[in-house]
Homo-oligomer: A and B are copies of this chain.
Amino acid sequence: MFREKIKILDCTIRDGGLINNHDFDLHFVRALYKSLSDAGIDYMEIGYKNSRRLFNPKEYGKWKFCEEDDIKRTIEGIESDKMKLSVMVDVDRVDIDDVKPKKESPVDMIRVASYVKDIDKAIFLCNHFADKGYETTINIMAISRALDNELNEALHQLEEECKAGVVYVVDSFGSLYQETTEFLIKKARHILKTKEVGIHAHNNQQLAFANTIEAIIHDANYLDATVYGLGRAAGNCPLELLLGFLKNPKFDIRPVLDIISKEFIPLRDKMEWGYIIPYAITGILDEHPRAAIALRESEKKENYREFYESLITDVEK
């Protein structure tokens, strides 16, 4: 039996944009928009809403800023009855005055990404966007590193003070195993009595899909995925596998298979993501992938043992 409450959010352009400075071309984003819509996906996250005063637009693609006019031009003429659009904001990187009221924007949902320590700022942003008419979520990043008492307090604050409809558990480092995922989702479900819980998993240890299934079992209803797992470093939960698992008849895997053949296989020659040993190592060690990303851009990119030893030496210090 399928669960009607389950919503899939595709964040291919947003998370994949972390690899290419958010510089996907119009053809690609339009093709993806059409495929996801045809597949019955609930939300497409198209990028970040970053401040142009903090980031130079000449150095980034348009999906780092998500101007309303760029979005409108991208989706123009493509039929999509139901799919909603989402953008993400980071605490301290958004200018709230850049965000128009919902009725003037093609965006339906704004997701606020935050570390536990920034939860007060995240709640302020979230409530501001909710007041402008958007659906909102809070995405708790790097949750594997959160201290249990601080996480508990943050979740209670979210339940009591925040207008977000959904709170996501975000495994930024791809270090969670199923048992920890179960623990975190159960904790969130227990405290967040009036909200939905979501999962955003990274695939460093080939566990993004497994942890998403685990989250579904324990009643997370908002599921992040990306086509062919495209996303920063090891990437994310592959949308095609999630669609294969869910029995909900509203989803259709075929448009996703199609776009993988046509767009994502050629893209593999230009962008790197997926199961690559340095990302597995940072996942195993519960570390941010930045050291692994730097290694992949160096001449020592396949020197795994030395990389591992450098990280465990750092940890031991």
Chain A: residues with CB nearer than 8 A to chain B?
177-179, 203, 205-211, 213-214, 217, 228-229, 238, 240-241, 244-245, 253-254, 257-258, 260-261, 265, 274-275, 277, 280-281, 283-284, 302-305, 308-309
Contact = CB atoms under 8 A, between A and B. Distances in A.
Given A206-B206, A275-B275, A241 B178 contact: no
25 contacts: A177-B213, A178-B213, A203-B206, A205-B209, A205-B244, A206-B206, A206-B208, A206-B238, A209-B210, A210-B210, A210-B213, A229-B275, A238-B280, A241-B280, A244-B280, A245-B284, A253-B284, A254-B305, A254-B309, A257-B305, A257-B308, A258-B305, A261-B303, A261-B305, A265-B302
A261 B178 contact: no
Chain A at the B interface: mostly helix, strand, loop or mixed? helix
Most chain B beta-carbon contacts within 10 A, residue among A179, A205, A214, A228: A205
A208 to B, nearest CB: 8
A283 to B, nearest CB: 8
B178 A210 contact: yes
Given A253-B284, A260-B277, 12 more contacts: A177-B245, A203-B206, A205-B241, A206-B241, A207-B209, A209-B210, A210-B210, A228-B277, A244-B280, A253-B308, A258-B305, A261-B302
Copies in the complex: 2
Contacts of A304: 257-258, 260-261
Contacts of A228: 277
B277 A275 contact: no
A213 B217 CA distance: 16
Contacts of A260: 277, 304
Contact of A257 (B207, B210, B238, B277): B277
Contacts of A203: 206
Contacts of A280: 238, 240-241, 244
A210 B245 CA distance: 15
A303 B241 CA distance: 17
Contacts of A309: 254
B308 A254 contact: yes
A305 B208 CA distance: 24
Contacts of A254: 305, 308-309
A178 B210 CA distance: 8
Contact of A179 (B205, B217, B229, B240): B217
A201 to B, nearest CB: 11
Contacts of A283: 244
A258 B207 CA distance: 23
A261 B205 CA distance: 18
A302 B207 CA distance: 25
Nearest to A308: B257
A105 to B, nearest CB: 34
A305 B277 CA distance: 30
